[in-house]
Each structure stands twice: as structure tokens, then as C-alpha cells.
Amino acid sequence: MLTYLIIRDFAIIDSLELELSDGFWVLTGETGAGKSIIINALNLVLGGRASVDVVRADASRAVVEATFVLEGERRKVLDKLLESQGIEVREELMIRRVVYKHGRSRAFVNDSLVGLSNLKAITEGLVDISGQHEHYSLMSSENHIDILDRFGELPDLAESVQASIGRLANLAREVRTLKRTERERLARMDFLKFQLDEIDRALLDPESLAQMEREIELLRHAERLREETYEIKYMLYDSEQSVSDVMGNACAALARLVSIDPRLENISNMLEEALVQFDEAAVELRSYANDIEVNPARLEQIQEWLHAYKTLERKYGDDFDAIVEKQADMRAEYRKLKGAENRIEEAEAMRLELQKEAMAQARTLSARRQEAARWLKESIESELAPLNMERCRFETRITHKDGSGNPVELEAAGPDALNEKGLDHVEFLIAPNPGEGLKPLARIASGGELSRIMLAIKNALMSTDPVETYIFDEVDTGIGGLVADSIGAKIKKVSRSKQVLCITHLPQIAAYGDHHLQVEKLQGTDRTTSHVMLLDSERRVREIARMLGGRDCTPTTLAHAAEMIRSRI
């Protein structure tokens, strides 16, 4: 609900502050007094196009500020939207629009600067303006399907269908992506397999690497080791003057001397032990020399292994741990890619199942919409009858289109007929007079007819319409008499659940108001300004009398005005 409106230096308005409440607010005044300027100013804070022409001639900028108080689900949605844009959430929603003389404009929401697109998103659904040329929510056929769903109490089913179609679209995109990237996936798998095979063939743990490095060192010097150990064995054991023979002779001589001097026994024993170890060493040397293998093929093989391992270090990591980590990453990626082999089939199967489910839901929703359309027709046509349009026909056209945009019957509609709202395209049609064909609302020529139709539709929909503030800008054009009284009664009915602001020239409508604002144009010596005043009961009677009989109010017109107000309370 709109609770406060401030306008400064806007067109012929110097300064205006309006504090508003719920109920039926009437704005009256002479033609050109500035009534519609107030609506134009409000339209500006709702995201309307800014023009430098609205800045008062001797001012540098025009400012319009509106404050709204919202409740229930609408408040929750708004708070979430504000939070997503980093805008402070307050008890009230304050919107300010500034238009500068040089052509620039700025918009603020709760004192945060916002772009025009964000402003429109935030203010969408706050106010519905109906006038001779503007019926924002109802004139746009894009909104008709949502209006029908609200009237038929179908939002939950519609949201469920929309969610299913959204999931279906995501799955279809995934299938297309999987198929498009299949060749890339297979190529990547081949490359990863090549790399993993390369690592598996050449990877050496630290212990194996050390063992190979020792083995290659032995193989490189095998011939020398064998030749020199044989030579040592020959010198120690096999030559004519071998060390073994010399030591044996020494042991025998020393043993003979022990019989002479027992003190040499210990030395003799030591030399005997040394001779035994010497013989064992000679045997070990012979065995070692015999075991030495000169194997160029084995040497070449180990060199290739070590070269391959060094290549792994250059390509995949600086050491064994780094290579193993890289190997694990590649194996994980390979498993993921390999798992995608079945993902196309799985996703396609899921898509078909979800498509079947979405089609069933959409057909159910379409049937419910057909039923709601019949109720809506009866409701709106019953509202039109008291407005002297009892022969007006209202229809809700529900059509279906295939993927190429061609019309198709519901029974023949396939999955390509699905859109984000289901299978349906909805448009409201009107035939105001007998013999006329049904036409879209936007193509109704008569402003008076259009105003009455809009009022009837809003009466029929007001219980399900989330908009809290309705504005009727001279919807009484081209009507009068009993029809005008009926319109006033219907606007009054709307105001019981909505805040209503109505600009009117008809006393029959103005008399229904809960609050009455009079707009006057004041002519000064150098410029013209517009002034707005909240009327008390006495002044209100005089304003209604003026609307009835002109500026010179007689006792009769004053009495008539007072009676008109009393009869409509």
C-alpha cells in the first residue's frame, strides 16, 4: 500500500506531500489542474521513462518520493529481492526518483542507488494503473495466463509444472552437451589412458629406484670386478709364491719353535687362525668372481627403465610422491569420463520420464485453466451487466503451439509445445457490442468501454490479485448517469480490499470516496502552480456540488451533493 507521496518541482507542482491510508481516495479538480501529473509522478518512481520536460522551469531537478508498506507473501518476496541486490531491508519501502535538468536521472531504493531495470523489478506489482491509455497488468497478454491462474487458484499447480519444465530443459541441455562433447570426451580418455599406461610402466618406488641404481653401478664395472678379484685370488692362493703358501710355511715353523719355547704358543695360535680366515677369504673371492655377470643386455634394460622414470619426473612431478598424486588425479578424471559413457543414456531416459510427467501435469493444468476460463467469463460478464454492457462478451482464448509456432490442438500437442507456463498461451478477448467479433483488450477502440471492462475485470479478480494499490485515472470518460453510479459502486467495492486512488470528473463516482483530494491550479503573476488539499466534509460537499452544477453552487445543488454523499456511505 502507498502510504506517502512527495513531489517537488515536477511540472507545475512546486511541493506536494500526501499521507495516504487504505480505502477509496478521490482526486477531483478542473481539467488541467494537475490531477494526472500526480499519477505521472508516481509512474516515475515505478520505473517509468524520465524526461527533462517534467522538471519545473526554474528548478534544477525534479524529485518524486513514494513510501510503501507491504504485508504477507508480497513482503517476503520483496525482502528476498532487496537482499539479493544488497539493499537494506526496512519496515517500509522507500523509493526516490530524481530527474535533473541536464537529462540525467537517478533512482534510489531505501537510499541505495539502483539501475532502472532493478527499479522496475522491485516495483513490479506494487501499483496497477488504469487509464485511458494505460492498463499495465491487464492490457499485456503476457500477464493473462498468470491472472487466469490466480483466479482459478492454480498457482501451486502452475509452479509445479514450471518447475518440471525447468528440470526438463536442464536435462535436455545436459543431453545435448554430452552428445556434443562425446568426441572430445573419447579423445581425452585416450590421452589419459596413454599417460596412465606410461606411468604404470615406468613408475619406481624409492626402494626399487635405489636398488636399480646400485645394480647399474655393478653392471657398469662387472668386467673389472671379475678380473681383479680373480687376480687377487691368484696372488693370494694360486701363484707359486702365493701368500697362502708363505703363511702355511710360517705356521709350521712357528709350531716347531713352540716345543722349544712355550711362550710362542699364543702367537702360533693367532697365526693359525689368520691362515684359516685367509683361506675362507680366498674361497669367497673365488665365489664372488664366479658370480660376477657381464650382461650388456641387462645394463641396457635398466638404463631404459631409469630413463623412463626420469621422463616421468619431467612430465608429471619432481619426485615419486608428486607423480603418484598426479596419477591419482588422472585416474579420477578417467573414471569420471568413463562413467559418462552411460550418462547420456541415463540422462536421456530421465529426460523422457520427466517429459512424460511434465506433459501429464501440463495437460491437467490446461484442463483446469479451461474450467477457470469458464468461471472467469461468467464472473466478468456479470460484473459488466450493471455497467450498461450486459451484452458484452468476454472470452479467454487458450491456444497451443508446436515447436515451430504453428497452432495445434491440445490432444495433438507434443513435448515441443511445452513452454515455461505449460502447454497454453492465454489471451483475454472482448466483444463490447452484439455483432462485433472478439478482439484482444488492447484493440478496444472506445475509452469508455475499455474503462468499464477493466473495472469489471478487476472486480472479478480482486480477491486473487496481489497488487495492493489500484489507480483509476479518468476511467469515467465517455460515461455518465446510472453507469457512472455503477462504476462508483464497483470502485467502492474494490476499495474494501485494495487501496484505490481515482481521478474523476463525475460526482456520482466522487461521492463514493472515503477520502477526497481537491487539485487546484493557481495562477500567479509569473507562473502557474498546482495545489492539492484534503477536503473536510463541508468542503467536500461544495466540491461535489461544483461537479454537479458548476462553480456557482446553489442551495439546491449543495443539498443534492450532501444527499449524494450520504446515500453512498
The string of pLDDT tens digits covering residues 134-190 is 545 667 788 899 889 988 989 899 999 999 999 998 888 888 877 777 778 888 889
* Domain contains 56: yes
pLDDT value at 54 more than 50 = yes
Q: How many CA atoms lie within 13 A of 239 on its CB side?
A: 11
Query: Which residues share a beta bridge with 82?
Result: none
Question: How much is the average pLDDT of 244-264?
Answer: 85
Q: What is the pLDDT of residue 513?
A: 93
* Domain contains 431: no
- Under a CB-based contact definition with an 8 Å cutoff, are residues 275 and 306 in contact? no
Alpha carbon dihedral 100, 106, 108, 113, in 10-degree steps, equals: -140
Query: Which residues share a beta bridge with 6?
Result: 17, 65
Question: How much is the average pLDDT of 181-206?
Answer: 84
One-letter amino acid at 107 equals A
* Domain contains 24: yes
Same domain, 481 and 508: yes
Query: How sure is the predictor about 99, in pLDDT bands with cuts at 50, 70 and 90?
Result: very high
Q: What is the pLDDT of residue 422?
A: 92
Q: Which three cell numbers stand for residue 567?
A: 446515500
Query: How many whole angstroms separate alpha carbon 42 and alpha carbon 62?
Result: 12
Same domain, 47 and 105: yes
* Domain contains 117: yes
- Under a CB-based contact definition with an 8 Å cutoff, are residues 87 and 112 in contact? yes
Q: What is the pLDDT of residue 109?
A: 93
Number of domains in the chain: 2
Q: What is the pLDDT of residue 477?
A: 67
Query: How many whole angstroms separate alpha carbon 108 and alpha carbon 111?
Result: 5
pLDDT value at 294 more than 80 = no
- Under a CB-based contact definition with an 8 Å cutoff, are residues 398 and 426 in contact? yes
One-letter amino acid at 140 equals S
Alpha carbon dihedral 37, 43, 49, 53, in 10-degree steps, equals: 20
pLDDT value at 445 more than 60 = no
pLDDT value at 413 more than 60 = yes
What CATH code is carried by the domain that includes residue 77? 3.40.50.300
pLDDT value at 133 more than 70 = no
Q: Is the pLDDT higher at 303 or at 450?
A: 303
pLDDT value at 463 more than 80 = no
* % pLDDT > 70, the chain: 95
Could you report the per-residue pLDDT of 524-552, keeping only the tens digit for each?
A: 667 778 888 999 999 999 999 988 877 77
Same domain, 71 and 12: yes
Burial of 219 (0-12, 13-18, 19+ CB in 10 A): buried
- Under a CB-based contact definition with an 8 Å cutoff, are residues 150 and 464 in contact? yes
Secondary structure (3-state) at 500 = strand
Domain enclosing residue 2, as ranges: 1-126+467-534
Length of the chain: 569
Same domain, 472 and 569: no
Secondary structure (3-state) at 266 = helix
Same domain, 15 and 110: yes
Question: How much is the average pLDDT of 343-357?
Answer: 86
Same domain, 486 and 547: no
* Domain contains 393: no
Same domain, 517 and 550: no
* Domain contains 244: no
Q: How far is CA 219 from the centre of its chain?
A: 69
- Under a CB-based contact definition with an 8 Å cutoff, are residues 223 and 338 in contact? no
Strand arrangement, sheet containing 425-431? 393-399, 425-431, 439-440
Same domain, 505 and 558: no
Task: Kindly report which listed range (57-61, 231-235, 414-418, 559-563) carries the lowest average pLDDT score.
Answer: 231-235
Q: What is the residue-averaged pLDDT of the chain? A: 85
* Domain contains 403: no
Q: Is the pLDDT higher at 191 or at 432?
A: 191
pLDDT value at 287 more than 50 = yes
Same domain, 497 and 551: no
- Under a CB-based contact definition with an 8 Å cutoff, are residues 35 and 46 in contact? no
| Residue closest to 19 by CA, chosen among 538, 529, 517, 519 | 517
Same domain, 487 and 564: no
Alpha helices in 412-554 (DSSP H): 447-461, 481-495, 507-510, 537-549
Q: What is the pLDDT of residue 500?
A: 92
Q: What is the pLDDT of residue 446?
A: 58
